[in-house]
Structure 1
Amino acid sequence: MSSKYIYTVLMFVALNALAQTNSLQLRGIPLRTHFDSEDYRAGMQSWDFSQSEDGLLYVANNSGLLEFDGNRWKKYDIPDATKIRTVMIDSKGVVYVGGQNQIGFFINTGSGFQFKTLRDELDSAGINISEIWKIFEYEGKIYFNAEDKLITYSTDGIEEINSPGFLINSFMVDERLICQFYGLGLFELQNGKYLPLPNTESLARLVAIYKNDQAYIFISEFGDVYEYYSSGIDLKTNLLDSVTINDVLKLKNGDYAIGTQNKGLLILDSEFSIKLHLTKNKGITDRTVKAVYQDNFNNLWVALNNGIDYLKISLPFNLINEELGIEGTGYDARYFDESIYLGTNNGLFLQKDINVFSDENTFELMPGSEGQVYKISQIDNELFLNHHKGAFMIGGKSLEKIHDIGSWTFEKTSQPNLILGGDYKGIKYFEKKNDTWVPTGDVLGLTESSRILVFENDTILWMSHGYRGVYRLELDKNMQLKDEIKHFNKRHGFPSNILISAYKLDGKMIFTSEQGIYNFNPKSLEFSKNTFFEELLGDEHVSNIKSNGHNSIYYIQDAGFGVIKEEKYGKFSKETSLFKHINKYISDDLQNISVFDQNNILITAKDGFIHFDPSKKHDIKKDFSTVIRSVKASKIEDSTFVNIPVNTKELVIDKNQSIKIEYASPYYDGFEDLNYSYRLKPLDEKWSKWSSLNEKSYDHLPFGDYTFEVKALNIYGMESKVSEFSFEVLTPWYATWTGRIVYISILLIIIVMIPILQRRKYKAETSIITEQKKKELKIKDEQIDKLYSEKLQTELNLKNDQLTSITMQLVKNKEFIQSVQDKLSSTLDKGGSAQELKRIINSIDQELSDEDYWDKFAYHFDQVHGNYLEKLSGMDIKLSPREIKLAAFLRMNMSSKEIAKLLNITTRGVELARYRLRKKLKLEREQNLVEYLIELDNT
């Protein structure tokens, strides 16, 4: 399909569309987000709103001042005030608040707000207050509307303005401060004085004053609207009875938003005609509206008796769902005979004609339509219901059943009284008889369920099946088969057999498939890609596509809803960003788009329908910002972070600290779908991947200067301005100039000290070596002495052993000879040869008295005991030879018996000899003779 063809057809249909009247008024409910007290962790009631230059929202709440950045809520407490009634941000960005018995302002420290109370100034000035309800900035001063008076605050101090009476309300209108006093009417404050506005004395308590081109508009708390001229005052209208108005806000488009005590929220046009009424379970969460505020995205913040609603009234979408009486998933919609019919899986619903303030549902279920609705078919001026239970004719608020088999659709034929109906079992002929339609037969040869029927022309009919392909029926002028039915599927060019649907788009047949849109070539009987749609939509599945008959083609694709628009010079482009708001609501079963007219498009939703008004323009390219909300630092080993002011110009941390940066974007037009990207210069060259996380931490950063940059990506794919925060990771002392000087000094000292230390080391090593050599020599000498001593000791022991052996041998010899002598003497006594025996005995006597043995003994004894015998002989005391022998034997520790044998005396003789020796040696009584002789050996 060529773009030229599309352009021509759209322009042709547009001419017809322009001729149609647009009396249709669809009143759905805005997309909304509800915040309850658990979300913002404060009181259930809020009273006022204000927005800072950077987009942050501030809310006066029962529990304090609330701040919302699009991601999280934060609460600031006010001392000695149970409730905050009002909040105002002046031209300098100072946040002023007023509440119960308290007024003051918040100072932004960078890491949060600090409250500065003006309570002391009030006390000093003798001013008593109970409640503060409004705050204005006027002529360089701040005005507080107390319960009964005006109080002004400036650098000059705080003071009460003298009032003509009891103040009941005040208003800032067109740079004029107008006050209403009970029973006195309206006054304008000029130069500190109240000037009365004539003809206003009888007015009831006003809740709003606005100025239009010709007059001032007064709105009372009971709904009376007045027009005030210099010449007088006129009652314009009364909005409603038995209602109390809490707040009125003139919207940027000229409409009025009115919050009531028990009737919810009203949206009125500039002429005070009601456009929309929202109340509990019908667009908002509560029927009591305390305050209304329009933010910089033109959406409404609504303070309820319990919680806060955010209404996205700037969007060209609203919902028609169960809150308006529509039950179930939407399947088809039709605007017919100035009535709206909506079909769901629970039946057919018709819009009711009810009072706009009624709590009744806007739509009601038509009796007999309960169950699955597939389509609402219009044939000329007649309406049909295609239903799971069969086919019905719709007549106003009633249904007439014309067929029992589950019905999908009806299609008009070229025959005036003949239509075709697709049902669960094929295609049927319906003829009109007696003002009703009756089935008259089947299209032979086709028994497949026929959900989609499309006439290409008067005689070519296409039927598409969800998973078997598409069928082409060639009919004659009587709608009878002219040729056999042709079945097309994957074998004929489609990517698969499933998800093939036939559409007649602005007079031209197209076929959607599992992958892209196709055209049919009647000559080759093959299907090929539609290059026009391929270029715009790619190969994703298109589940429904409709034209508005003017310059737009609407479609539902896998990625969501979109529109193809004609631009200049016959070019086309697609738009999908705006519709990201509604994609999550769109149904995924038998999706359908219903085009009522150019400004009313209905899209089937999981819960009812989505209404789209293309005439309602919405700026998706609005600039927005990302705000660094907090900077925190802590020791790496400690999880406790300390807040650091975000306006700090020179933040310095050390390497052992962590830094955590939190950020947000107050882009309330889709704050649920914000993503962020960041980088840390110069550490990161590229930006991070987009993520919904709104904080970043860094640990163990190398020392140096850093700049953290962050930006946001909104729901439309637009990027915010970059926000940045700079900080420094402290250079360790050893990397500073001081450290370098220390290094150089140490290096010079080392250079000087190295030779000195080397000489000292040489001397020390030489000394150590010398001492070591001395020790080694000493050890060797000791080893030599030890070896020599051991050798001498060994020799001494050997000689001692020899001496002992000789001595013992002498003893034995003596004993033996003595025994022989005794025996011989005995023999002689018994009569032996006397002469011979005597000779033997004499010989033995000579042997016993022979001193030769002593010489041998003396030699060995002196060898062992170091000339001991010479020592005895050389003593001053002269010892006899026998005494010397006795001393020698005693030195050897010999017993008296052994000594007796050696000296050839008796044991008694030995004892006497010992006694004489002691006496001769002049030993004391207690002295031991043997010990003395041993000690003598050591001298």
Structure 2
Amino acid sequence: MTHLQLKILALILFSTSLIGQVKNIGLPEIKNYKKTDYKGGTQNWNIDQDENGNIYFANNNGLFQFDGSTWRKYTLPNAPDTRAIKIDTNGTIFIGGYSEFGYYKPNQQGKLLYTSLSKKVSKKKVIDFIWKIHIYKDEVIFQSFANIYIYKNNQLKILEAPSRFQFSFQVKNHLYLQDVSTGLVEYKNGKLTPLPGTTFFNSSEIWGMFSLPDNQLLIATLNKGLFVYNQGKITTWNTDANAFIKKNSSLGGVTIKDKFIVLNSVLNGIIICDSNGKIIQHINRKKGLQNNTVLTSFIDHKNNLWLGLDDGIAFINENSPITYFGYNYDLSTVYASIVFNGNLYVATNQGVFFSKWHLPFREESFSLLEKTTGQAWNIQVIDGQLICGNNNGAMLINNDQSIKVLDTKGYFGFKKIPNKPNFIIGANYNGFAIFEKTSKGLEYRNQITGFEKPSSAFDIDDSYLWLKKDDVIYQMTLSDDLKKFDLIKTYPNISKMTKGIGSIQTINNTVYFQTNNVFYKYSQDQDLFYKDNRMSLLFKDLPKIYATTQDALGNIWYLFNESLGVLAKQNASQYKNIVTPFSNLTGNLVNNYLSVNAIDPQNIFIGQTNGLAHYNSKLPNNSSSKPIAFIRSISFPGDTLVYGNGKTTYTKTKVPYTSNRVNFTFSSPSYEHIDNIEFSYQLEGFDDKWSNWSPITIKEYTNLREGHYTMNLKARNSYGIQSDVKQVNFTISPPWYRHFIAYFCYILLIIAITYFIRNRIQRKIRKNKYYETVELRRQYLEKETQIQKAQFDLEKEIERLKNDNLQTKILSKDKELVINTLQVVKKNKVLNGIIHKLKEINIESLDDSTKFQFNKLNKSIVREVNTDKSWKDLEKHIKNVHFDFLKRLKEKHPTISPRELDLSTYLLMNMSTKEIAEIMNISNGGVEVARYRLRKKFELHKKEDLTGYLMSI
């Protein structure tokens, strides 16, 4: 095939693939769902999708709904085996199974409730299986083998088959049915109209009908192949697709944008062909399906393909510009790839594999080149020669795939030496080696001495060989004879201001040094690295990159965070940053070996740990559209509200306080790379900020306080694109004791209590004032009484003092009286003595005058003694003054004698023993005896004072 023919074929492929975006190179992403995933039956007979993106499957164990996060099962009453499903624009899900058909519709809580229409059919009629459902104009058609049931305006009409229906098909605005005796009939205006010439199919089962250009119909039969019907004429569709169906049997299919047809088979998966019957893609069990029998196929809103299998479900991402050559093509980890002389060569960890390279690309596995088994680090074309860097040596691969080993040391890669066209330098496990072009071909020349470290990646310019190793830049100068390094210089940093080294790369034939997205060149004259503003500006707003490489088209590819991006060259000075299509390669790229092989814009190969990825940069990446986030349900004890069924309206929900444990479920019906869908949420009124991105689709909040809340949710797909924020508002009702009515009652109660307390306080104030007045009056009276009492006491005290004073005076007078009395007694004694002495005088011897005077004197003395009453006055006075004392003493001691009373009185008057003896006319000893007897009568102890005791009475 000439180069011009290749270009024409590439242009044809490019133009058709742009229309339908079905690639014929590699395999799209395939995800299988086993029955253990959706917990249902094995067979899936029909598939549909609602306006919200949810996918529904008619399974032999019920109806299954998948929202991208959760599978839900709905079972028909008395008929778990379902066969057909169709969803209208209002979200009503019409479903049919064995002897049962009807529809599911969401109620006010969003839960799907089933309404049976088969109950409108007479029990005498056997319904059997409902195989197909069509929404035709304003009618819903349920098709069984015996009848079609027409549902319109809540009324059900039955139209019987002319003989027996097989299946029915809706092609654009036409509804066709196969009758086993009449052939194909068209339903319109409530009647069945036969299509001429279609009795040809009476002996076969028609499983699919598709539209072809020029109003032709493509008819797929179970065992006889594919036929074209055009105005009553039936012809065999002699195409590759027909050959496939004849061999593997057809189970119908579906069209993709009226440009491509998906044909299901019994034995060998599916094929996708164009309107000319050319097979574009073949997917079977060997290429990733879990089952080769495909019962139904469906194109979703994003033009991705769903397959209902005889055992399970499959999703095929047809809406991606990237396909894969992986284990299905016998490839493992890919380090490099190249197209050379009509073959695609791939260097892997198992060796070098190759496959024929032609357009359109044929489904051929890759073959291993002999003698290359082992780690192949690189494969490249230099000056028209295919060289492989292998663990087993440097290998030259000829056109007939024969291998010439140039050197047995392990090699990483090769580069031409500037200004020395006949020499190539290779990086090996022991440093570097030189290869020379000779008349015999490329030959190993010598190992370069002076540097013996393994070097996996290097760059070379006119003056130096540059190598980054161990976070150091090596600058090495080759000798003229290419046998040694004359100079080896190291740079730990690119500059004093810039720490660390990111990567070394050659872009546009210039060696650049990069760190932190800033690019530098080396100035040999000044021996320093200086910033290149133009290159640095290209990477200014990109995330931190780790490696870059330039492909053959001038595009600059870069690695960041185990992800891949490209600055696609638009013209000589402009680049467009593209990241989105490569998000699915994240984590699968080979560390330190960025492998990009750009053959042309439609054929770019990227090495991965699990094979080779093919990228067509001219295909639109529709899967990068903004995803949709759904708050799928909100649950709390006692109720569950489901959103996303039918026409979703997020109404404000009231949750009782006793059910303030709220559970949310999330979904995003973005089925491409579904495992990479992530969610972030924020509950306004509870969360201060958005949560971290997470694939978890459930969030529960407990013990929420009463108030208004808004649940915000956003989703992010595998391309990093975020959805719009979805919101659900709800209110937690307060407990009865914090309800508005309760607060109103509280206010009334507070007012009543305040009023009551105010009155009580006022009454208490009045009462307190009264009591205070009474108390003041009492205190006044008490004070007055105290004053009076004090005055009285004072007067008493004065009186007492007066009495004491008087008593003191009396005692003093008594004392004086006693003294005077004693003196009188003494005087009387003296006078009595004088009288006795006078008697002894003999008066007879005296003269008369003297005798007279003597007698007169004697009489005067006698008269003085006889007339003195001092003693009697003293006794009387003592008894009068001490009457009370004597009375108390007599009461206390009734046995006391008068004589002892006198002694007690004398003792009270503090008279001495001598004075008492004189008054009582006894001796001093007699006084002491009397005192002793008195103490004994008073029963006093020895230490007690008798006078003190008497004074206390």
How does the TM-score come out when normalised to structure 2?
0.70
In 2 relative to 1, CA 411–684 (structure 1 residues): closer, same or farther, beyond 3 Å?
Answer: closer
- Cα gap change, 1:257/1:138 in structure 2, threshold over 3 Å: closer, same or farther? same
1:545 equivalent in structure 2: 548
Q: Is the 8 A contact 1:256 1:268 kept in 2?
A: yes
Given the superposition, is the C-alpha separation of residues 527 and 308 from structure 1 closer, same or farther in structure 2, using an over 3 Å criterion?
farther
Aligned to 1:508: 510
**Distance in 1, Cα, partners of 2:9 & 2:624:** 33
Distance 1:592 1:435, change over 3 A: same
The aligned counterpart of 1:471 is: 475
Structure 2 unaligned segments of length 5 or more: list them. 1-5, 15-22, 644-648, 775-953
Give the drift of 1:138: 0.7
Structure 1 match to 2:143:
145
Alignment of 1:699-738 (within 5 A): 699-731=702-734, 732=736, 735-736=739-740
Query: Distance in 2 between the 1:170 and 1:755 partners?
Result: 89
Q: Is the contact between residue 495 and residue 513 of structure 1 (CA under 8 Å) also seen in structure 2? A: no
Question: In the alignment, residue 208 of structure 2 is paired with which amino acid?
Answer: A
Supply the AA of the counterpart residue of 1:747.
I
Alpha carbons 2:655, 2:732 under 8 Å: kept: yes
Give the distance between the partners of 1:730 and 1:541, measured in 2 at CA: 50
Q: 1:309 aligns with which of 314, 319, 322?
A: 314
Residue 236 of structure 2 corresponds to: 235
Q: Is the 8 A contact 2:208 2:251 kept in 1?
A: no
Give the 3 Å change call, closer, same or farther, for CA 750–519 of structure 1 in structure 2: closer
Which residue is equivalent to 1:557?
560
Q: Say whether 1:348 aligns with 2:352.
A: yes
Residues 618 and 423 of structure 1: is their aligned pair in 2 closer, same or farther, counting only changes over 3 Å? Answer: same
Q: CA distance change for structure 1 residues 310 and 530 in 2, over 3 Å: closer, same or farther?
A: farther
Partner amino acid for 2:115? K
| 2:215 is aligned with 1:210 | no
Instruction: Name 2:77's counterpart in structure 1.
Output: 79
1:722 to 1:594, Cα distance in 2 relative to 1, 3 A: same
| Mapped contact 2:49–2:87 kept (Cα < 8 A) | yes
- Aligned counterparts, 1:192-341, within 5 A: 192-203=190-201, 204-214=204-214, 215-222=216-223, 224-230=225-231, 232-237=233-238, 238-240=242-244, 241-252=246-257, 254-326=259-331, 328-341=332-345
Conserved? CA contact 1:676–1:713, under 8 Å: yes
Q: How many residues align?
A: 743
Q: Which residue of 1 aligns with 2:931?
A: none
Q: Secondary structure at the match of 2:76?
A: coil
Change (3 A) 1:229 1:620: closer
Structure 1 residue 63, shift from structure 2 partner: 1.6
- How far the C-alpha of 1:370 sits from its partner, in A, is 0.9
Identity of aligned residues (%): 23
Q: Measure, in 1, the Cα distance between the counterparts of 2:757 and 2:515.
A: 90
Q: What is aligned with 2:373?
A: 370
**Corresponding position of 1:102:** 100
Give the C-alpha shift of residue 115 in structure 1.
2.0
The alpha-carbon deviation at position 216 of structure 1 amounts to: 2.7
Deviation readout 1:340-374 (Å, 9 max, x if unpaired): 1111111111226999999x971122222110001
**Within 2, Cα distance between the matches of 1:79 and 1:357?**
50
- 2:99 is matched by which residue type in structure 1? N
Rounded Cα–Cα distance in structure 1 between residues aligned with 2:143 and 2:268: 27
Tell me the residue number matched to 2:668: 665
1:822-837 equivalences under 5 Å are none
The one-letter amino acid of 1:572's match is Y
Q: d(CA) in 1 for partners of 2:455 and 2:761? A: 106
* Aligned CA distance change for structure 1 residues 500 and 451 (closer, same or farther; 3 Å): farther
Task: Please point out which of 168, 175, 185 is paired with 1:177.
Answer: 175
2: CA distance, partners of 1:745 / 1:466? 81
Deviation at 1:601, TM superposition (A): 2.0
Q: Deviations over 1:881-907 (max 9, x none)?
A: xxxxxxxxxxxxxxxxxxxxxxxxxxx
Q: How far 1:560 moved relative to its partner?
A: 1.2
CA contact (8 A) 1:548 1:598 kept: no
2:151 counterpart SS class: strand
How far apart are 1:645 and its partner, in Å?
5.3
Partner of 1:135: 133
User: 2-side partners of 1:75 and 1:431: how far apart?
Assistant: 71
2:27 maps to: 29
Give the direction of change, closer, same or farther, for the CA distance of 1:737–1:600 in structure 2 (3 Å limit).
same
Q: Distance in 2 between matches of 1:55 and 1:235?
A: 38
TM-superposed deviation, 1:330: 1.3
The CA deviation at 1:667 is 2.0
Distance 2:41 2:34 in 1: 9
In structure 1, the residue matched to 2:947 is: none
Going from structure 1 to structure 2, the CA distance change for 1:253 and 1:475 (only over 3 Å counts) comes to farther
- Deviation of 1:548 after TM superposition, in Å, equals 3.9
2:386, 2:750 → 1: CA distance?
101
How many angstroms apart in 1 are the aligned matches of 2:764 and 2:497?
94
State the alpha-carbon separation in 2 of the partners of residues 474 and 417 from structure 1: 15
Task: Give the counterpart letter for 1:207 in structure 2.
Answer: W
Q: CA deviation at 1:686?
A: 5.3
Pick from 406, 422, 426 the counterpart of residue 421 of structure 1: 426
- Whether 1:122 and 2:121 are equivalent positions in the alignment is yes
Root-mean-square deviation (CA), in Å?
Answer: 3.9
1:60 touches 1:84 (CA, 8 Å); kept in 2? yes
Quote the offset at 1:226 in angstroms. Answer: 3.2
Could you tell me how far 1:122 is from its partner in structure 2?
A: 2.5
SS of match in other structure, 2:486: coil
CA distance change for structure 1 residues 700 and 461 in 2, over 3 Å: closer, same or farther? closer
Pick the aligned partner of 2:62 from 54, 64, 68.
64
Q: Which residue is equivalent to 2:905?
A: none
1:413-451 Cα shifts (integer Å, max 9, x gaps): 566654333322333333345654321223454444343
Structure 1 position 465, deviation (Å)? 4.5
Post-superposition shift, 1:752?
5.6
Aligned in 2, Cα 1:762/1:189: closer, same or farther, shift over 3 Å? same
Task: Specify whether residues 696 and 153 from structure 1 end up closer, same or farther in structure 2 by C-alpha distance, changes over 3 A only.
Answer: same
- Aligned in 2, Cα 1:271/1:416: closer, same or farther, shift over 3 Å? farther
Q: How do 1:568-583 and structure 2 match up within 5 A?
A: 570-583=573-586
Q: Distance in 2 between matches of 1:416 and 1:355?
A: 34
TM-aligned CA deviation for residue 589 of structure 1: 4.7
Could you tell which deviates more after superposition, 582-591 or 532-541?
532-541
The TM-score normalised by the length of structure 1 is: 0.71
SS in 2 for 1:55: coil
* Aligned equivalents of 2:285, 2:627: Cα separation in 1: 33
Q: Which residue is 1:859 aligned to?
A: none
Aligned match for 2:639, one of 619, 642, 645: 642
For 1:75, the aligned partner's letter is K
Q: How far did 1:333 drift?
A: 0.9
For 2:746 and 2:515, how far apart are their aligned partners in 1? 78
* Correspondence list, 1:390-409, <5 A: 390-395=393-398, 396-409=400-413
Distance 2:328 2:674 in 1: 24
Structure 1 CA distance for aligned equivalents of residues 675 and 550 of structure 2? 31
| Deviation larger for 71-80 or 411-420 | 411-420
CA shift for structure 1 position 509: 2.2
Q: CA offset at residue 649 of structure 1?
A: 4.2
Note the alpha carbon deviations across 1:14-35, whole angstroms, 9 max, x for none.
xxx9999789997322223222
Q: Which has the larger Rg?
A: 2
Change (3 A) 1:757 1:361: same
Structure 1 residue 650 displacement after superposition: 5.4
Distance (Å, rounded) in 2 between the aligned partners of 1:253 and 1:407: 52
**Equivalent of residue 616 in structure 2, options 608, 613, 618:** 613
2: distance between equivalents of 1:19 and 1:454?
37
Change (3 A) 1:223 1:724: farther
Question: Quick one: distance in 2 between partners of 1:44 and 1:340?
Answer: 40
Conservation of the 8 A alpha-carbon contact between 1:127 and 1:160: no
Q: 1:745 to 1:464 in 2, by over 3 A?
A: closer
Residue 745 of structure 1: how far off its partner (Å)? 6.5
| Alpha-carbon distance in 2 for matches of 1:223, 1:486 | 75
Counterparts of 2:364 and 2:7, CA distance in 1:
33
CA distance in 2, matches of 1:424, 1:648: 65
Once the 2 structures are TM-superposed, how far is the Cα of residue 566 of structure 1 from its aligned partner? Answer: 4.5
| Paired residues of 1:223 and 1:239 also in contact (CA < 8 A) | no
The 3 A distance-change label for structure 1 pair 411 and 763 is: closer
- Secondary structure at the aligned position of 1:581 is classed as helix
Q: Report what 2:939 is aligned to.
A: none
User: CA separation of 1:259/1:470 partners in 2, compared to 1, >3 Å: closer, same or farther?
Assistant: farther
Q: Tell which deviates more after alignment, 90-99 or 207-216.
A: 207-216
User: Which secondary structure does the structure 1 equivalent of 2:719 belong to?
Assistant: coil
